[in-house]
């Protein structure tokens, strides 16, 4: 059986932090908001916003990370990664982040497909 760990997001960037690290590699850690709209029992519109953390390294399939700003519309395709750590409160915590294989700034165009 083939295993699959793939996620595609299209949403708006919230906070972003871009850094240049060893060997002049650029890394960006940012959040992406996606919305899900539905109607409640009374027929009222409800919009549920989910925030996703993205950890992107400049390279093949990744757009110029310095062009991404708060409010930018992005398409992210990649994999989900989980990490566990013990916090200052001595409790074990889990975080989930998206590691993109492709990242596109959207300016009216929709990406055709996710490439791995």
Domains and CATH numbers, the chain: 7-105 (2.40.50.140)
Long-range pairs for 31-34: beta carbons < 8 A, 24 or more residues apart: 32/74, 32/76, 32/98, 34/9, 34/10
Tens of pLDDT along 23-45?
Answer: 888 899 999 999 999 999 999 99
Tens of pLDDT along 72-108?
Answer: 999 999 999 999 999 899 999 999 999 999 998 887 6
pTM of the predicted model as reported, rounded to 2 decimal places:
0.82
44 CB-contact burial (10 Å; exposed 0-12 / middle 13-18 / buried 19+): exposed
């Amino acid at each position: 059986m083939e295993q699959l760990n793939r996620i595609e997001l299209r949403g708006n960037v919230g906070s972003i932090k871009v850094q240049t690290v060893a060997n002049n590699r650029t890394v960006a850690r940012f959040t992406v908001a996606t919305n899900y709209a539905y109607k409640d029992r009374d027929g009222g519109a409800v919009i549920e916003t989910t925030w996703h953390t993205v950890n992107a390294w400049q390279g093949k399939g990744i757009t110029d990370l310095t062009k991404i700003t708060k409010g930018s519309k992005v398409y992210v395709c990649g994999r989900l990664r989980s990490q566990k750590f013990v916090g200052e409160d001595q409790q074990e915590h889990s975080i989930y982040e998206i590691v993109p294989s492709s990242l596109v700034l959207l300016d009216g165009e929709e990406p055709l497909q996710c490439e791995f």
